[in-house]
Structure 1
Amino acid sequence: MVFVEMFEICSVLVVIMIITDEIKITEIEDFDLNDGYIIDGFPYDGYVGSISAESMVRTSQFKFVGFMDSKSFPPVSIIREGIANYPINIFVNEKLKVAVFLSHLHLPESFSKEIAKSILQFAKKHNCRLIISSMKITGAKISKEFNAVGSTKNARDTIKKLGMDIALNATMPGIPGVLLVEGRFSNQDVIVLLFSQKSGKNTDLEYGAKLCLTIGMLVPNLPCNIKLIEGETVKVEKMIKQTQKESKDLYDVIYR
């Protein structure tokens, strides 16, 4: 069940909440995403999605507008430049009409369905045209560096117009998989970018930068300064891996 509640704090801050059975999205200020885009920046098998999303936020004019939380999430705070944050933050660039859901933590798969449904509800509330996700794919042939799959005919037509191949057969776990199937039956355009990493030391860094550029093909006017992005991905990877390392013992205790 989903509902929206509005109230005022100190006569200044308006907080808007989107709540599903397990997940709560809190928006701390107003913003316009009409006909815009949502980028899924959750980490999956590796850090490519998070590296790409974090680099995008750092190299463009995104602002912090809210966060996602649940009573079942691990009790942890992520410190960014001396400021405490929830594990999942939302950043928006109103000029580009882009929102980024950004997390550095590998949350258990049991949260995937509710997180995806919350993102879809957010997209519906703000009338967003497209949700963009990504993941590393195994057990399926990738004809190009990036293939893609879309939730609707319109999404698949967009993929074809960009000259990308559509993956015809694949198993899609986690948040990307739920976004696709739920998007299909709610008529929400979702595109999941698929890549098959080669073995190597710096593949997360390499594909993080390339994913930024590929998302730039889907989002009009998204800045794609490859030198700037590549410089940021090095910093971001270190930060994300440090977060993962510091949170590992906590996860072992809570979810073992």
Structure 2
Amino acid sequence: MNSIRVVEIEEMNLRGAYVIDGFPSIGLVGSIVANYLVTALNLRQIAVVDSVHFPTVSMIKNGIPSSPVRIHAGEVNQEGDRMVVFVSEFQPPPHILKELGVTVMNWVEDHRCRLLISPEGIGTKQAGPSPDVPEAEPEEREEEKEAASNSVLGVASTPEAREMLKKNDIAIFEGGVIVGLSGILLNEGVNRHFDVITLLSEASPDFPDARAAAAVTAAINKLILDGSLDIKPLLQEAELIEKGLKEMYDKAGKQDELRKVTVPGMYG
């Protein structure tokens, strides 16, 4: 019997939707990216992921309680494209990661989504030399330049997804080890021939790194949103986001959990 289940709150047609994995890793990059996308794109909650292994907490925002792992979705442009975002501020325990990854992929395939992107922080020593970045056009926005200063690498599960990275000038992560949920999702993508992309940005192992998250968000903006998302607020509010996440962990008594999430050396 599975110990993880998805509880549907609102029915929505998600055929062809883009999916973002918002579970945390180094620098809480995934959590910050997910929360920003939900807010910026005005996505609404459609489901929760529930398990006896998840933290026994209720996330309170604007007086409304919610589960530790939520699924938000909605249309992101006038063409009717949809995005799904898994949002979590807590790192699932290692022994359930495989089951969680399979549950996520089963749900994504059941709803006929088209692509899953997993944002990840990566330690500086593991990032390797910075890839060559084409010179920016004069009209490029200043916030995009700042976000691009944090180099982003990508790894994909299928030839089609790798070609997508190349077409958008995102350098390929050529060698190393990706552990945790992102690694499981990549492997599941290979096994199912489903497009899964992990985006890696250099992040601090010591605190929530909103600037690394902004770099990944800029890459997502380029890959699937045609540059329509405004990244500037995330850059401007980086310090506030970092402070808010730290306070959340303090209030929940999860100081040790934060250190577990941001330990260095997850990639090699």
TM superposition score category, shorter chain reference: 0.7 to 0.9
Q: Could you give the per-residue CA deviations for residues 70-111 of structure 1, whole angstroms, max 9, x where no partner exists?
A: 012121111111111100111101343100000111232223
1:184 is aligned to 2:165: no
Out of 225, 242, 252, the position equivalent to 2:230 is 225
Distance 2:165 2:26 in 1: 24
**Match of residue 249 from structure 2:** 244
Contact 2:73–2:83 (Cα < 8 Å) also in 1:
yes
Letter in structure 2 aligned against 1:64: Q
Whole-angstrom CA distance in 2 between matches of 1:159 and 1:88: 28
Q: Paired residue for 1:98, among 79, 83, 89? A: 83
Q: Taking structure 1 as reference, are residues 164 and 247 closer, same or farther at Cα in structure 2, changes over 3 Å only?
A: same
Q: Distance in 2 between matches of 1:155 and 1:249?
A: 36
Q: Which has the higher contact order (CA 8 A, sep 6+)?
A: 2
In structure 2, do the counterparts of structure 1 residues 116 and 88 end up closer, same or farther at CA, with 3 Å as the change threshold? same
Matches of 1:203 and 1:71 in 2, distance apart?
A: 26
Aligned to 1:115: 100
Question: What CA deviation, in whole Å up to 9, does each residue of 1:117-175 have, x standing for no partner?
Answer: 12111110111111000212343525330110001111111111111221121111111
Mapped to 2, the partners of 1:240 and 1:224 lie a distance apart of: 23
Indicate if the aligned counterparts of 1:47 and 1:237 stay in contact, CA closer than 8 A. Answer: no
Kindly report which structure 2 residues correspond to 1:65-214, keeping only aligned pairs within 5 A, or say none: 65-94=46-75, 95-138=80-123, 139-144=126-131, 145-197=151-203, 204-214=209-219
Aligned to 2:15: 34
Aligned residues: 233
Q: For structure 2, list consecutive stretches of 5 or more residues without a partner in the other structure.
A: 132-150, 258-268
1:22-64 CA-to-partner distances (Å, cap 9, x unmatched) read 2111111111221111001111122122111111111112111
> If the length of structure 1 is used for normalisation, what is the TM-score?
0.82
Code of the aligned partner of 1:180: L
Compute the TM-score of the two structures, normalised by the length of structure 2.
0.79
Listed as ranges, the gaps of 5+ residues in structure 1 are: 2-20
